[in-house]
Structure 1
Amino acid sequence: MGFRTVLIFSQLGIALAFCLVIVLGFNNVIDTLEDPPFNLPKPVTLNLHSQLSRYLLVAITISVFLAMVLSWAIAKRTSRSIESVKHFLEGLIRNQSPLEQYSHPNLIEGFAEFSELSTHLSKLVASFQNDLNTTRYSAQMKQLILDNIAEATMLIDQKFIIEYGNQSAFDLLEIDSENSIGLSLFEIDRTSKLNDIIKRCVETQKAQSDEVQLNNVSEAVVSLVVIPIFQSFSSLSESKNKYLIVMQDISMLRKLQQVRSDFVTNASHELRTPLTAIQGYAETLLDKENGKKKQRQQFIVRIYEQAIYLSGLISDLLNLSKIESGGLQLNFENCKIADLRKKITNLFEPLFSESKMNFEWKIPDNSTRIYVDPELITQVLVNLIDNAIKYTEPDGTISVSVQTEEHNIIFQVKDTGIGIPKRELERIFERFYRVDTGGANQIKGTGLGLSIAKHIVLQHGEKIWVESEVGEGTSVFFSVKKQRNTTLP
C-alpha cells in the first residue's frame, strides 16, 4: 500500500471519528431535553433529532470530502517530492542525465523540509560534479600525454589481451589501432623474443627489459620494458593484474653506432695504408747499403705521393667535420652556370686531353644563373666528376647536364661506368664507403668526396640523389635554387 493511500485513509478515519463523536454528543443532548426540567414533547424532540441528523449528515459529508481533498493534496505534494528524490537517485545511479540538472536549489518540490533536503542535495551534487570534473580532466590529461609521447606504450592483462595502446605503439608494431583492442598481442605480433619477455614478466611478476628486433616489415630494433602493475594491491585478485609495455625504437641509434664503428675501421685503414708505405720506403732509404740512386729517388717520390694523399685525407675529414657540425659559412650569390663550367673545364682539361674519355656539358642556356655559394657548388661538381672518372672506362663518357624547373635548377653528372647495385645505392654517400664491384675497391681516393658533396647540397637546403644500373652507368642529381630577383651586372 502506497504512502498516498495510507495518508488518505488516515485522514478519512479521523474525520469519521470526529463526526461520530459529534453525533453521539447531540443524541445525548436531545435525550436530556426530554427529561426535567425541559420536558419537551416527544414529537418535538423527534423533529429536532431528525433535523440535527440531517445537518450532521451534511456536515459529515462535507467533512469527509474536505478531508479527502486535503489528504489527496498533501499526499500528492509529498509523493511528488518523494518521486523527485527517487528520480534524482536513479539518475545518479544510471548516469543517464548530466549532473548539472541536479545541481539547482529547487531540485525537490514540496514542504519546507523537502526544500531544505533539496538544498543539501544540490550542494552534494555540486561537490560531486566538481570532483568528477577534476577526475575527468586528470584522466584526459593522462590520456593526452600517453597518446603523444614518443615511446610506444601498451597495456595488456595476464592473458595478453590488449586493453590500451597509443598510436606510437600501433605504428611501431605495424598493427591496426582500431581493431587491435581486445585481441591477444601474441596473435597480432609474432616476434618470439618479445612474447618470451612478456611471459617471463607475467610468471615472475618482476619488470623485464631487453632489446628486440621486431618480426615485421620494418624489422625495427626496440628497447623493451615490461612492468607489472597493481601487483602491490592485495585486495585485487591475480586476474586483475595488468602489464605495461614500453618500447622505444632504437634502430637509428644502432645504425649510427654501426656507422661510427665502420668509420673508425675505415679511417684506420685509410690512414694505416699510406703510413705503412711511408714507413717502408723510409726504412729502405735509411739503409744506405740498399738501393741505387734512381731507386732511392723513386722511393722519395712515393713517400711524397703518400704524404699528399694523407694531407688530402685529413683535409677532407676536417672539411666534412666542419660541414656536419654546421660551422660552414655559405656565401650566397647569383652566378652564371657558364662561369662554373669554364672553371671546372679548365681544371679537368689536362686529364681528359691525355685520355680517350669523353667529357661534355649540356647547358641549354649559357645565361642561366643560380643562387648558391659558387666555391662550394664548384667543389660538389668537382667531387662528382672526379668520382665518375674513377669508375668509368678510359673510352667512356662523362657528361654534366642542366634541367630547368619552376624554382630550381637540376644538375646531372652522368657516366657510362660500371654502375652501382641497387642494394648499395643507399650507402654511397656514407664516409669511406665504396661500391663492392669487381676491382672498384682498388680505386684510389679518400672515399669522402660523395659525402662532402651531399652535405654541401644539404647546407644549401636542397637535395641530392642517385640513379644507377649495373653495367650501364650512374647518374647523380642535385638541385639548386634559381637566381634571386636582384639587379645583376
Structure 2
Amino acid sequence: MIMKSLKWRMVTIYVLLVLIVMIACGTMIVMRISNNAYKEIETGLKKSISTSMEAIGENSTKEEAIRKWEDAIGGYRDSERKLYLLDTDGKVIFADKQGNKDAYLTPMVMAAIQDTSIQKFDKVYGRNKDDKKEYIGYASPIKVENEVVAVIYILAPSEQVKINLYSTVRIILLAILFAIVLSIVFGFMFSNFLTKPIIALSNKARDMSEGDLDNPIEVLSTDEIGELTKNFNIMATELNHNLTEISSEKNKLETVFAHMTDGILVFDTNGLLIHSNPATRKLIGLADKNSFIEIFGQYLDTTYERLLMNIKGGIRQHIIRIKEKYVNLCFAPYLDQNKNIMGSICVIQDITKHKKLEEMQKEFVANVSHELRTPLTTIKSYAETLLNGAVDDRQIALDFLNVINYESDRMTALVQDLLELSRLDNKQTKFSMQCINLSHIVESSISKFQIHAKKKQQEMVYNKTDNDYKIIGDANRIEQVIKNIISNAVKYSNEGDSITINVYEESSYVVVMIEDTGMGIPNEDLTRIFDRFYRVDKARSRAMGGTGLGLAIAKEIMDCHGGHINVTSEVGVGTCFYLYFPYEA
C-alpha cells in the first residue's frame, strides 16, 4: 500500500535517479583513476627501459648486447620492480633477483619479440609462492642490426593502485550513501510539496462522492497544481448546481409518478421490473411479481423480446381484463443517448368505466330499439287488421284503436323521457331555481297518489313535522323526482302494504325518506337501478307502463340540484329511498 502511494513512488524514483547517477559517476571516476594510475606506472616503466637503453648504447653483436644488459640488470637496485632479460623464446636469460626461470610469453613480450606495438600492458602475478602480488609488465625489444636478439621485460607492483582505488571506492560509496540520504529527505520535501494539493483533491473527491459539495479547497499556489485546484472547485460548484437541479427534477418526477392515476411500469432489456408507481399496485396488484412474464404472461400472447422488436416502430397498445377491470396497456421504448433501446415503459390506464359506458351505450341503443319496436309492431299489426276489414266491426275497431292510442302514448312518453335525458346530459335543461318549501312539495306529491294507494288498499303514512324546510331548487323538477319514487312504491307494493314518507334534517341536508313494504330489490340489481332502461322485473314494468327511464331522470335532476339519492332494500321486506337536498338552516 505504501509503495502504491504517489509520494513513495516519487521518492523512490528520485532516490533511484540519484543512485544511478552517483553509481555512473563513481564508476567513471574509478575507471579514470585506475587507467591514469596504470598509465603512470607504464610510463615510468617505459622511461626506465629507455634510460637504460641510452646508457648501454649501440651494440655490434648479439653477445655483446646481451652481456651489456646482463651487467646493467645485475647492477639494477629497486626493491619493488623486477627486471628480466628474455630470449626470443620468452625464456629468462638473466634477472635482477633470483626467481622463477620459466618463460614469460605474455602478449606484450610476444609483441616485443615480433617487434610490433601493443596498446595493452601486461598484468601478471608473482611466480614465487611467497610472492602473489599483481605486477604490471612492460617489454621492449633489444635489436642488433634491426634484428630482435632479446627482450628486456620490467615488472612493477600494482598493489598501491588497488589500495588507492579501494580508498576511492569507499569515498564514492560514502558519497552515494550521503546522496541517498539527502535525496530521500529532499524527495520527501518535494513529494510533499507536489502531493499535498493532490491529497487535498483526493479527499475532496471522496467527500464529493459522499455528497459534500459545499466546502471548496484552498488554492495554495498559482502553478499548474493551483490551476487544477481552482478548476476542481469550479467543477464542484457546477456539479453541486447540476445535482441540485437533477434532484429537483427527480423529486418532481417522483411526485408526478406517485400521484398519477395511470400506472407506470419500467422494464429493462431482460424484462425485469425496475420501477413502478403506487397507481400500478392499485390497478393490477403486483404482489411479488418482478418481471414482464410474471405480470403480463397470462394476459398477452407475446414474449418480451418480440414486444421490444414491435415497439421499435412506435407505441403498441393492448387491452386486457384483469379480474373486474379493463386496462389499456401502452408500451413504448426508452432509449439511451445513442438511441439504443434500454428497455420499455408501460402506461396502464383504467378503462373500466369507458368499457362499461360502451356496453351501456350498446345496451341503451338495444333497449331503445326494443322499446320502440314493441309498440310499433303492435300499432302496425292492429292497423293492418283494421285495414283488412276489422274496421267494419265497431266494437273491434274501438278496441284496436284504444290499443293503438295506448301504444302511441307509451312511445310519446318514451320519446319525451329520452329527450329530457338528452337535455340533462347536455346541460340544456333550464331550471327555475328559487327558494321553495320542500314540505309543501312532499305533501302535494303524496296527495296525488292517495287514490291509487287506496285502490290497492295500501296505507300511505306521512309523518308531518312543524318545520318548513326551505331549499333552493326548481319546484316542478323536485316534485317530478318525489312523484317518481312514490309512484314506484305504489306500483311495486302489493295490496295491503304500507308506504311511509318522512322529511328530516341530517347534517347539511334535508332528507326525504320514502319507504315501502313491497317486494324489495335484489342486491345484484341495486347498483344498476339508476341505469337507463334497467328494470328489476321487466315484464311487470312494461305491463305497468314504465319506460325504465324514471330513476335515471330522477338521479340526473338530483345531481343538478347538488343532491343525491341513496337506496336500501331487502327482498320480501321492502325498499327505502333517501333523497338528499342541500340545506342551510
Q: TM-score, normalised by structure 1?
A: 0.73
Q: Deviations over 1:4-58 (max 9, x none)?
A: 69889999xxxxxxxxxxxxxxxxxxxxxxxxxxxxxxxxxxxxxxxxxxxxxxx
Q: Deviations over 1:182-233 (max 9, x none)?
A: x34555x477114756475268776753211114xxx211112334555996
Q: Which has the larger radius of gyration?
A: 2
1:219-230 paired onto structure 2 within 5 Å: 219-230=324-335
Shift of 1:243: 2.9
Contact 1:77/1:110, CA 8 A, preserved across alignment: no
Shift of 1:341: 3.4
| Structure 1 unaligned regions, length at least 5 | 12-65, 485-489
Shift of 1:330: 3.0
Contact 2:452/2:490, CA 8 A, preserved across alignment: no
Q: Deviations over 1:431-479 (max 9, x none)?
A: 1100048855644211111111111111111121111111111111111
Q: Deviations over 1:307-345 (max 9, x none)?
A: 222221111111122222222333333333442234223
User: Among residues 79, 83, 100, which one is paired with 2:214 in the alignment?
Assistant: 100
What is the identity, as a one-letter code, of the residue corresponding to 1:245?
C
Q: 1:450 to 1:199 in 2, by over 3 A?
A: farther
Segment of structure 1 superposing worse, 167-176 or 197-206? 197-206
Segment of structure 1 superposing worse, 453-462 or 243-252? 243-252
CA distance in 2, matches of 1:117, 1:454: 76
Q: 1:483 to 1:132 in 2, by over 3 A?
A: closer
Instruction: Give 2:153's aligned residue.
Output: none
Shift of 1:372: 3.1
Greater strand proportion: 2
CA distance in 1, matches of 2:334, 2:545: 60
CA distance in 2, matches of 1:369, 1:354: 33
CA distance in 1, matches of 2:390, 2:223: 127
CA distance in 1, matches of 2:301, 2:283: 15
Shift of 1:430: 0.7
Matched, 1:331 2:429: no
CA distance in 2, matches of 1:223, 1:419: 38
User: Among residues 193, 198, 202, which one is paired with 2:299 in the alignment?
Assistant: 193
Q: 1:467 to 1:199 in 2, by over 3 A?
A: farther
CA distance in 2, matches of 1:90, 1:341: 80
Instruction: Give 1:213's aligned residue.
Output: 321
Shift of 1:282: 2.2
CA distance in 2, matches of 1:84, 1:232: 34
1:267-282 paired onto structure 2 within 5 Å: 267-282=368-383
What is the identity, as a one-letter code, of the residue corresponding to 2:232?
L
Shift of 1:174: 2.4
Instruction: Give 1:413's aligned residue.
Output: 514
CA distance in 1, matches of 2:447, 2:202: 99
Instruction: Give 1:162's aligned residue.
Output: 273
CA distance in 2, matches of 1:231, 1:5: 46
What is the identity, as a one-letter code, of the residue corresponding to 1:224?
L
**Counterpart secondary structure, 1:155:** strand
Segment of structure 1 superposing worse, 319-328 or 338-347? 338-347
1:329-368 paired onto structure 2 within 5 Å: 329-365=430-466, 367-368=468-469
Segment of structure 1 superposing worse, 341-350 or 422-431? 341-350
**Counterpart secondary structure, 1:98:** coil
**Counterpart secondary structure, 2:513:** strand
CA distance in 1, matches of 2:370, 2:194: 98
Shift of 1:369: 3.4
CA distance in 1, matches of 2:429, 2:272: 53
Relative contact order: is structure 1 or structure 2 higher (C-alpha 8 Å, sep ≥ 6)? 1
Q: 1:144 to 1:194 in 2, by over 3 A?
A: farther
**Counterpart secondary structure, 2:346:** strand
Segment of structure 1 superposing worse, 79-88 or 404-413? 79-88
Shift of 1:175: 3.7
CA distance in 2, matches of 1:337, 1:122: 77
Contact 1:278/1:303, CA 8 A, preserved across alignment: yes
Q: Deviations over 1:377-436 (max 9, x none)?
A: 111111111112221113322222223223222111112221111011000001110004
CA distance in 2, matches of 1:86, 1:357: 95
Contact 1:8/1:72, CA 8 A, preserved across alignment: no
Matched, 1:455 2:556: yes
CA distance in 1, matches of 2:14, 2:305: 67
Q: Deviations over 1:219-278 (max 9, x none)?
A: 2111123345559969x8xxx952322221111111000100111111111111222222
Identity of aligned residues (%): 26
**Counterpart secondary structure, 1:193:** coil
RMSD (CA atoms): 3.9
**Counterpart secondary structure, 2:215:** helix
What is the identity, as a one-letter code, of the residue corresponding to 1:214?
I
User: Among residues 311, 317, 336, which one is paired with 2:418 in the alignment?
Assistant: 317
Instruction: Give 1:28's aligned residue.
Output: none
Q: Deviations over 1:290-319 (max 9, x none)?
A: 551122122222222222222211111111
What is the identity, as a one-letter code, of the residue corresponding to 2:415?
I
CA distance in 1, matches of 2:303, 2:555: 42
| Structure 2 unaligned regions, length at least 5 | 1-7, 19-181
Shift of 1:80: 2.4
CA distance in 1, matches of 2:13, 2:402: 126
Matched, 1:80 2:202: no
Q: 1:463 to 1:435 in 2, by over 3 A?
A: same
Contact 2:489/2:516, CA 8 A, preserved across alignment: yes
How many residues get paired?
419
What is the identity, as a one-letter code, of the residue corresponding to 2:331?
V
Shift of 1:127: 4.3
Matched, 1:257 2:358: yes
Q: 1:191 to 1:312 in 2, by over 3 A?
A: farther
Instruction: Give 1:56's aligned residue.
Output: none
What is the identity, as a one-letter code, of the residue corresponding to 1:161?
L
CA distance in 2, matches of 1:197, 1:430: 41
Segment of structure 1 superposing worse, 426-435 or 381-390? 381-390
Instruction: Give 1:243's aligned residue.
Output: 344
Q: TM-score, normalised by structure 2?
A: 0.62
Q: 1:245 to 1:97 in 2, by over 3 A?
A: closer
